[in-house]
Amino acid sequence: MKQELNLKEISQWELYKSRPLTICGPCSAESEQQVMETAIELAKLKKVDIFRAGIWKPRTRPNSFEGVGREGLKWLRDVKKETGMPTAVEVANASHVNDALKFGVDVLWIGARTSANPFAMQEIADALNGVDSMVFIKNPVNPELNLWIGAIERVAKAGINKIGAIHRGFSAYEHIQYRNQPKWLLPIELKRAIPKIPLLCDPSHIGGAKEYLFELSQKAMDLNYDGLMVESHINPEVALSDREQQITPVQLNDLLNKLVLRDSVSNNLAFSDTLGELRTQIDLYDSQLLELIEQRMFVAKTIGKYKKENNITILQSSRWEEVMQKAVLQGELKGLSKEFINSLYKAVHQESINHQNRVMNS
């Protein structure tokens, strides 16, 4: 029987330097001149750890620019010689892995569409077997934590020791503020499952527009992320892909200079004591919340008994709509967001249905 992989042992490795690790460069390698000019300007900042550029671009529509392909790997090789910066590319199949390694690419990342496909992930993992490379894995397009963990496991089982995760947001059908939904709880849960894995944020793909880059980057730093992957182009206005979310090297420098980096721990005893007292209060309120929910579920089970005796369905849509509208209004008065109230009450409602369903079928 195969020994199970211990997730808590994945990625115990040091990043290039102190936080944040920065992986920056254009969305796509478009020409030799564009790649080199961008790289030289980024190198001058002395704040970019790894130069990135998309060589193969998985586009939604076939008539979009899908990258220059293998030719672009020569340009990255020249960037490394000229600037000394390590290079990174996205790979989506075994052929990409083999080509990138032949041209001396230092860091590989696996995109959201690929990480959502276990067959593709296994193919890439097989190609990486025995290779000493750094590999970052973006979250899948859909918000499925186990799918993300599974993609990481496949690469780890291939013997790759330097593995990181990149949070780039999750696709949504409906129109939202950002290009992709951040769903910050999922990467937090990933860190709970794999505590030592380096976690980077890709604010370019979450935001989809340059005006959101700083706020998303700052939030990632406040959540103790290890680094950022930011798209930077020498002239974003003429970029062949994702021009709205790319910034110039000068703008990138401004963004990185504005970031406030906070410590994860403190040696201040007064702070630690105060924080401990406040956390004790949180624990007390959490206990009271659970007691209230327990009481609510007792009432829900009682309602289930009456419904069963009177042959009434569990779900009463009009009543549920009434509860939600009232909760949202009351929540807003208490400074609670509509999104939070919706998520909370949907979970409570589902648990109530579960309790009533057991009563109905007992």
Residue whose C-alpha is closest to residue 314's, from 323, 303, 325: 303
Predicted confidence band of residue 59 (pLDDT cuts 50, 70, 90): low
Give the pair of three-digit tokens for residue 156.
């780890």
Predicted confidence band of residue 3 (pLDDT cuts 50, 70, 90): very low
The amino acid sitting at 41 is: E
Predicted confidence band of residue 285 (pLDDT cuts 50, 70, 90): very high
Secondary structure (DSSP) of 222-264: HTT--EEEEEB-SSGGG-SS-GGG-B-HHHHHHHHHHPPP--S
Domains and CATH numbers, the chain: 7-258 (3.20.20.70), 269-360 (1.20.59.10)
**281: phi then psi, degrees, rounded to nearest 5:** -65, -40
Which tens digit of pLDDT belongs to each residue from 134-165? 999 999 999 999 999 999 999 999 999 899 99
Give residues with Cβ within 8 angstroms of 256, minimum separation 6: 22, 45, 47
Residue whose C-alpha is closest to residue 163's, from 117, 224, 115: 115
Task: Give whole-number Cα distances, 123 to 90, 127, 222, 282, in Å.
Answer: 15, 6, 36, 46
Above pLDDT 90, what percent of the chain? Answer: 80
What is the spatial distance between Cα 313 and Cα 8, in angstroms, rounded to a whole number?
45
Task: Give whole-number Cα distances, 315 to 246, 320, 356, in Å.
Answer: 48, 8, 10
Give the pair of three-digit tokens for residue 107.
């860091």
Give the residues across from 107 on adjacent strands: 88, 134
Predicted confidence band of residue 16 (pLDDT cuts 50, 70, 90): low
Give the pair of three-digit tokens for residue 284.
């007390």
* pLDDT value of position 173: 73
